[in-house]
Structure 1
Amino acid sequence: MAPGEPFRDRHRQQIERARAEAADRYGLPVAVFVGTVHSRASAEAMLARLGPEAAETVLVAVDPASRRVEVVTGAAARSRVDDRVAALVTLSMTASFAVGDLAGGIALGVRMLGEHAGRARR
């Protein structure tokens, strides 16, 4: 996918399937944002705008143009997804991005977050 090119339907579906699995199977809501991410603080503000559900949610914010990825956890989600896991997920996603697979990298990251949160919950 060329930079700036919108996701095709199959890419959106791939990401949505991963989000649904994280929520349904592991009880972890994951929000995904692809666009301009100026800083970690701007990603945290995006998460806060989700309102009451922000505490339980993990936000994956990806800015392909600036090659920035932020994984931000709400207060309750932080007990299930710590900084070490977020860093590992980010590394895995960026490896996929490096070979041109933006949607696949995002879906992989969302699946990894859910799987880890599921293990942490038990």
Structure 2
Amino acid sequence: MRTPHLRRSAASHPRTSQPGVPVQPGDGFTSEQRAELAHLLASADAASGLSFRLRVGGLAEGRTSAEDALAAEGVRASDTVLIAIDPGSRVLEIVTGTRAAARLTDRSCALAALAMTSSFSAGDLVGGIRNGIQVLADHAAAQPTVHLDTF
């Protein structure tokens, strides 16, 4: 498997859990927020055809922890977009598998990171995650083919 692509930015936020699981009880998110995050991830999956995962919690080994979380997706890793947020270190990692990287440019990931960290700095963790997922899903969505030479 090719080395995943990563983007890193500073951010502040509460703690959480495992890749693919938006949040766990006791993590500072309400049940409504957990449901909203799960819905956002499912919508991003449907819109893009990729597999979006969210991990909010410690990244003990930084970048390596995010790469390991992506690799833990197994055969789906190449189609996965992992958003990993470490509140203690104020770090955001966007890690893409090889096929996902073909659809999400470095610029798209940087734009999503900027959208997220802007909200995080205003104290809006869920809003930042929402913004980032939407940017990534929009940029990864398959563009419709338009045929202009029809009769």
Same fold (TM over 0.5): yes
Work out which of the residue numbers 20, 25, 42 in structure 1 matches 2:42.
20
Query: 1:82-111: CA deviations, max 9, x gaps?
Result: 222111111110111111111111121111
Runs of 4+ in structure 1 deviating by more than 3 angstroms, as ranges, are 2-5, 119-122
In structure 2, the partner of 1:64 is 87
Structure 2 CA distance for aligned equivalents of residues 85 and 22 of structure 1: 15
Work out which of the residue numbers 137, 144, 147 in structure 2 matches 1:114.
137
Match for 1:53: what amino acid?
Answer: R
SS at match of 1:76: helix
Match for 1:39: what amino acid?
Answer: G
SS at match of 2:89: coil
Structure 2 CA distance for aligned equivalents of residues 78 and 54 of structure 1: 11
Match for 1:86: what amino acid?
Answer: C
CA contact (8 A) 2:55 2:85 kept: yes
Compute the displacement of 1:119 (Å).
Answer: 4.8
CA contact (8 A) 1:80 1:121 kept: no
Q: 1:13-92 alignment to 2 at 5 Å?
A: 13-37=35-59, 38-92=61-115
In structure 2, the partner of 1:95 is 118
CA pair 87-115 structure 1, distance change in 2 beyond 3 A: same
Match for 1:90: what amino acid?
Answer: A
Structure 2 CA distance for aligned equivalents of residues 121 and 39 of structure 1: 37
CA pair 121-57 structure 1, distance change in 2 beyond 3 A: farther
Structure number having the greater helix percentage = 1
CA pair 68-7 structure 1, distance change in 2 beyond 3 A: same
Root-mean-square deviation (CA, aligned residues, Å) is: 1.8
In structure 2, the partner of 1:7 is 29
SS at match of 1:58: strand
Compute the displacement of 1:6 (Å).
Answer: 2.0
CA contact (8 A) 2:14 2:57 kept: no
CA contact (8 A) 2:14 2:56 kept: no
Aligned length: 121
